[in-house]
Chain A
Amino acid sequence: MRHIKVVAKRPFWNINKKHDCRECQTPCKSACKTSVTVGNQVCEVKKPIKRWIW
Chain B
Amino acid sequence: MGKKYPGSNVHPFEFNGEYFALDVNTGSLLEVDEPAFYFLGKLIESDSLSNATEETEKAYGDANEVRSEVENLINQGLLFSKPPNYFESELKLKSLCLNVAHACNFACKYCFAKQGNYGEKSALMDFKVAKRAIDFLHENSEGREHLEVDFFGGEPLLDFEVVKKTIKYARSTYPDKKWRFTLTTNGSLLTESMEQFLYDNDVSLVLSLDGNKEVNDKFRVLPDGRGTFDLILPNLRMVAEHRKESGGYYIRGTYTHSTLEISKTVMDLHDFGFKYISLEPVVTKDGGINISKEDLPRLRKEYEKLAKEYVESQKEGEWHFFHFNVDLEAGPCIQKRIHGCGAGVEYMAVAPNGDIFPCHQFDGIVEMRLGNVFTGIERKDLVEQFRKANFLFNKKECASCWARFYCSGGCLANNYTMNGDIFKPYETGCETQRMRIEAALFVQAKLRDLGLKVDTTTSEEFRDSVK
Residues of chain A whose beta carbon lies under 8 Å from any beta carbon of chain B: 1-17, 19-20, 22-33, 35-48, 51-54
Contact = CB atoms under 8 A, between A and B. Distances in A.
Contacts of B21: 4
B369 interface: no
Contacts, number: 242
B235 interface: no
The residue in A6, A20, A33, A42 that gathers the most chain B C-beta atoms within 10 A of its C-beta is A33
A22 B280 contact: no
Interface residues of B, number: 102
Interface of B: 20-21, 23, 25-33, 35-36, 65-66, 69-70, 72-73, 77-78, 81, 84-85, 87, 89, 91-92, 94-95, 97, 144-146, 148, 150, 152, 180, 182, 184, 202, 204, 206, 246-250, 252, 276, 278, 280, 283, 320, 322-337, 340-342, 346-347, 359-361, 405-408, 410-414, 433, 436-437, 440, 444-445, 448, 455, 457, 459, 462-463, 465-466
Nearest to B449: A7
Contact of A11 (B73, B91, B94, B328): B328
- The interface centre, meaning the residue of A1, A10, A29, A45 with most chain B CB atoms within 10 A of its CB, is A29
Given A26-B346, A37-B406, A19 B28 contact: no
A14 B335 contact: no
A42 B327 contact: yes
15 contacts: A3-B36, A4-B32, A8-B28, A12-B25, A12-B405, A15-B466, A17-B84, A17-B334, A22-B94, A29-B413, A37-B323, A39-B337, A42-B327, A46-B330, A54-B320
Nearest to B330: A14
A32 B26 contact: no
Nearest to A19: B333
A38 B410 CA distance: 10
Contacts of A25: 146, 148, 180
Contacts of A45: 465-466
A41 B359 CA distance: 20
Contact of B78 (A9, A19, A30, A51): A9
Contacts of B182: 33, 53
B457 A51 contact: no
Contacts of B346: 22, 26
B405 A39 contact: yes
Nearest to B146: A23
B278 A35 contact: yes
Contacts of B463: 14, 16
A52 B342 CA distance: 21
A28 B359 CA distance: 9
B341 A43 contact: no
B322 A11 contact: no
B27 A8 contact: yes
Q: Which of B97, B448, B462 has the most CB of A within 10 A?
A: B462
B457 A46 contact: yes
A11 B331 contact: yes
A27 B341 contact: yes
